[in-house]
Amino acid sequence: MTTLPVPVDAIAASQRLMSALEQLRDELPFVDDILAAHRPTHSELEAAHTRSQHTIAAWRTALAQRWNAEVAGRRLYKRIVRELIAYYGSESAPEIQLLSRGGAEADSMPNELLADLRRLQAALAINSAAPVRAEHQAELDQSCVALGRAIEAANRCETQRRSAVLDQRMAGEAYRRIRTEARRKLRAHYGEHLPDLFGDLFAE
């Protein structure tokens, strides 16, 4: 999920509220206190949004790179297994069954695919009779490294994305508290009919 809990329109509303309050500084002494709390909160809203944008971009890039590594790894796995089946003469040969997960390899998750590749890698390393060319072993080594790194990078970016989303939620809550306090003080002064310059800023 990439929907931001503190969207750009919340930042715009926060800026509008600050601008409206600035116009009342000479009229209402308590406005300075509201602005003193609001300015750092607004800055954090903007910073949290920027961090989230960068984090989501990095996460999407990491997912794309992991997908590319998965596709390459799956193709390599199928190609080598097909060669082994041709050599042993049947999918039911014991040597093939040791590699198989009952057909589940076709829909494996990234970590499962990596385990399949490593199992194939180990099987070829100990079976000198298998007619697999040396470059296949090298390809497997490279594929395992590439997929392993891609999985780690995607997991790391997912953790960072979740943290950025949490930061945005916290920044949003801080802004809502500031807005609520501003509304309370303004209504204590003006009553229910606030100046038009606030427009719909306090609409629920």
pLDDT tens per residue across span 16-52: 999 999 999 999 999 999 999 999 999 999 999 999 9
Model confidence at 55, in pLDDT bands (50, 70, 90)? very high
pLDDT tens per residue across span 149-196: 999 999 999 999 999 999 999 999 999 999 999 999 999 999 888 888
pTM (whole model) above 0.85: no
Tokens at residue 51, please?
A: 């961090």
The answer to whether the beta carbons of residues 185 and 30 sit under 8 Å apart is: yes
* Domain spans of the chain, in order of start: 8-195
pLDDT tens per residue across span 96-122: 877 777 666 667 899 999 999 999 888
b/e 104-140 (16+ beta carbons within 10 angstroms → b): ebeebebeebbebbeebbebbeeeeebebeeebbebb
The answer to whether the beta carbons of residues 125 and 137 sit under 8 Å apart is: yes
What whole-number distance in Å separates Cα of residue 179 and Cα of residue 186?
Answer: 10
Model confidence at 2, in pLDDT bands (50, 70, 90)? very low
Please name the amino acid found at residue 42.
H
| Residue 19 burial (10 A CB sphere; 0-12, 13-18, 19+) | exposed
pLDDT of residue 180: 93
